[in-house]
Amino acid sequence: MPDGGSCWGPEPGADAAVRAAWDALARVNDPEIPVLTVVDLGMIRRVGRDADGRLRVTITPTYSGCPATGVITFEIRRALDEAGLTDAVLDSAVFPPWTTDWISQSGLEKLRAYGIAPPPRGAGKRALTAPDEVPACPRCGSGDTRVISVFGSTACKALHRCNACLEPFDSFKCI
């Protein structure tokens, strides 16, 4: 669990309902980046039991203005319901704020394979002081790339061009 923030699966010894919830969550994709699930993104902060035994799933929003957040919440609810977890409580926590450092290792690989340069590890923290890190081209691997716009096709992406293969590409914006 990095920074006490997010996690990517049940803890050892978790009960059957908690495991079922994780399985259901792992089937919910980001509508904007369908290769990633909400678990890959690190949006799931906790799946656990309240003191009274109720199952509670806590999610964290990614970018403040992301228009997909409503759809994602709806899809998570539906996935839990379809898994028979209709009494599970779904809530949201803003703090600690989500960071790109919470994207899972397999999520980073999926992004690269999809053509989106993944955020370097630790870049979320560094973005506060040194925002300029040049991503390698996800297509040809060249490090010779330039920024076209720090605001890309969605709230989470910036737009780049590779100087080697000349292809434009998106990168995941570090926060």
Partner 1 sequence: MTDDTLRSALVDYALRLGDTSLVLGHRLSEWCGHAPELEEDLALANMALDLVGHARMWLAFAGETEGKGRDEDRLAYHRDGFDYRNHLLVEQPNRDFGHTIARQFLHDAWSVGLYERLASSANPEVAGIAAKAVKEVRYHLRHSGEWVVRLGDGTEKSRAIMADAFDRLSRYTDEMFEADGVERTLTAAGIAPDPEELRAGWEARVDAVLAEATLSRPAIHGRQTGGRSGRHTEHLGHLLAEMQFLQRAYPGATW
Angle (deg, nearest 10), helices 69-82 and 16-25: 140
The binder of partner 1 chosen from 14, 26, 35, 66 (CB under 8 A): 66
Cα 130 to its chain centre, rounded Å, is 22
Q: Is 71 in the site for partner 1 (CB under 8 A)?
A: no
Residues in binding contact with partner 1, number by CB under 8 A: 25
**Beta-bridge mates of residue 49:** 55
d(CA 140, CA 138): 6
Least spacing, CB of residue 95 vs partner 1, in Å: 3
Q: Is 153 in the site for partner 1 (CB under 8 A)?
A: yes
The binder of partner 1 chosen from 5, 42, 120, 152 (CB under 8 A): 152
Pick the closest to residue 153 from 120, 124, 122, 115 (CA basis): 115
Amino acid at 141: G
Give the angle 32-98-138 at the CA atoms, nearest 5°: 50
Ranges within 124-143 binding partner 1 (CB under 8 A): 124, 127-128, 131
The binder of partner 1 chosen from 63, 90, 112, 121 (CB under 8 A): 63
Least spacing, CB of residue 17 vs partner 1, in Å: 29
Q: Which is nearer to partner 1, 20 or 30 (CB)?
A: 30
Q: Are 124 and 41 in contact (CB under 8 A)?
A: no
Q: Is 8 in the site for partner 1 (CB under 8 A)?
A: no
Q: Where along the sequence are the contacts to partner 1 (CB under 8 A)? A: 63-67, 94-99, 124, 127-128, 131, 148-153, 155, 159, 173, 175
